[in-house]
Structure 1
Amino acid sequence: MLLISYDISNNKLRTKFSKFLKKFGYRKQYSVFEIKNSDRILKNIQLGIAGEFEPKFSQTDSILIIETSETCKITRYGYAKNDESDLIIV
């Protein structure tokens, strides 16, 4: 799993970046996305950032990509704890 957090000052660029990330995963918080990881997906995201977004960044903009492993322990609280369970509606 990837966690991608971003802080982009330009509203238009920030909106464009969030739409870019929606193609790969789900928004967890306002500026945090959770993405199911594969080498291909990570490479596509990195190429998209380097080619389309990084040249437009100001000195205050930042993106963090955190790669978690299968052995990484994740504790969820609040709404996030429902993300791991299946929901069946009859």
Structure 2
Amino acid sequence: MILVSYDISNDKVRTKFAKFLSKFGFRLQYSVFEIHNSEAVLSNIENEIQNVYMKAFTEEDSVIIFNLSATCKKTCYGYAKNEETDVFVIT
């Protein structure tokens, strides 16, 4: 499972990003989507963020991807990448 959390200040970019994510999963909260994990889906999402959305982000915008698998990988984009900390998942 992948959790994607975002904080995007521009309404138009935020709406477009939410519509993009809704193709792959469903909304848990206003700015959090749950997506069933596969390498192809994750790669598609990361490529779209890097090639399309990063151009529209401001310094305050951020997207955080939690890859909740055996590795529990966390990937940050935008402002969020400056606040790297360890994440603990308790199951």
More relative contact order in 1 or in 2 (CA 8 Å, sep 6+)? 1
Q: Give the share of equivalent positions with the same residue, in percent.
A: 52
The TM-score with structure 1 as length reference comes to 0.77
Q: Residue 4 of structure 1 corresponds to which residue in structure 2?
A: 4
After superposition, where does 1:44-59 map in structure 2 within 5 Å?
44-59=44-59
TM-superposition CA deviations, 1:51-76 (whole Å, max 9, x none): 11011100000000001026x655xx
Query: Root-mean-square deviation (CA), in Å?
Result: 1.6
Q: How many angstroms apart in 2 are the aligned matches of 1:33 and 1:63? A: 11
1:14 equivalenced with 2:17 (yes/no): no
* Equivalenced residues, count: 74
Structure 1: gaps of 5 or more residues: 75-90
Q: Residue 86 of structure 1 corresponds to which residue in structure 2?
A: none
Q: How many angstroms apart in 1 are the aligned matches of 2:10 and 2:29? A: 18
Q: Residue 64 of structure 1 corresponds to which residue in structure 2?
A: 64
More helix by share: 1
Q: How many angstroms apart in 2 are the aligned matches of 1:57 and 1:66? A: 20
Q: How many angstroms apart in 2 are the aligned matches of 1:67 and 1:25? A: 14
Q: Residue 77 of structure 2 corresponds to which residue in structure 1?
A: none
The TM-score with structure 2 as length reference comes to 0.76
Q: How many angstroms apart in 2 are the aligned matches of 1:24 and 1:69? A: 17
TM-superposition CA deviations, 1:26-72 (whole Å, max 9, x none): 000000000000000000000111111011100000000001026x6
More strand by share: 2
Q: How many angstroms apart in 2 are the aligned matches of 1:54 and 1:28? A: 23
Q: How many angstroms apart in 1 are the aligned matches of 2:49 and 2:20? A: 9
Query: Greater CA radius of gyration, 1 or 2?
Result: 1
